[in-house]
Amino acid sequence: MLSHDLRTPLSAILGWARILRDRQRDEQIVRQSAEVIERNVIIQLELIEEILDISRISTARLDLNIERVNIRETTIMTLESFEPIAAAKGVRIARGVPDEERTAALDARRFQQIIWNLVSNALKFTDAGGWVRATLTYCDDGFQFIIADTGKAQKVGLR
């Protein structure tokens, strides 16, 4: 599992670097590629930090950094990281994200990690020609993030 979690951001970085190399004259693609690569490098660094968290958990020293987080923005940025991986595999990612922006008090890094794990598992078990659908909805008491796919794994959601 650890090697999978470490490889996923590297695959996104590699995919977007190839897009950048092949379409370097398209200014919008260059900008988008650089942004996704930067985000995934940050994710990679955070994964290394999470490895260190394992020892903190075992010694009851894990701290959460609770802050106001833009749920919509975090969800979209995380999902964008998977586009080259999905395209290379022949899987379509569909996003259902409201136009309205909302915030929630949570640990942004942990929230992104949850999205990352759910989507990467969905992609892992979805064959070419299939799809992964990520849906974010707002509720009175928070939000709901649901992943559905045509893969072998069961549907998993976060509320």
| Domain locations in the chain as residue ranges | 2-158
Helices and strands (H and E) in the chain: how many: 5, 6
The reported pLDDT for the residue numbered 129 is 95
Strands (E), the chain: 66-70, 92-96, 103-107, 131-139, 142-149, 156-158
The reported pLDDT for the residue numbered 42 is 79
- Averaged pLDDT for residues 52-73: 84
Q: Which residue has the higher pLDDT, 26 or 140?
A: 140
pLDDT in tens, 63-122: 788 999 999 999 999 999 888 889 989 999 999 999 999 999 999 988 988 898 899 889
pLDDT confidence bin for 44, thresholds 50/70/90: confident
Tokens representing 59 are: 């010694």
Q: Regarding the domain delimited by 2-158, which CATH topology (the fold level of the hierarchy) does it fall under? A: Heat Shock Protein 90 (3.30.565)
147: which residues sit within 8 A by CB, 6+ positions away?
A: 118, 119, 122, 132, 133, 134, 135, 155, 156, 157
What's the pTM?
A: 0.64
Q: Which residues pair with 133 in a beta bridge?
A: 94, 148
pLDDT confidence bin for 3, thresholds 50/70/90: low
The reported pLDDT for the residue numbered 67 is 96
Tokens representing 82 are: 């998977």
> At residue 159, does pLDDT exceed 70?
no
> At residue 53, does pLDDT exceed 80?
no
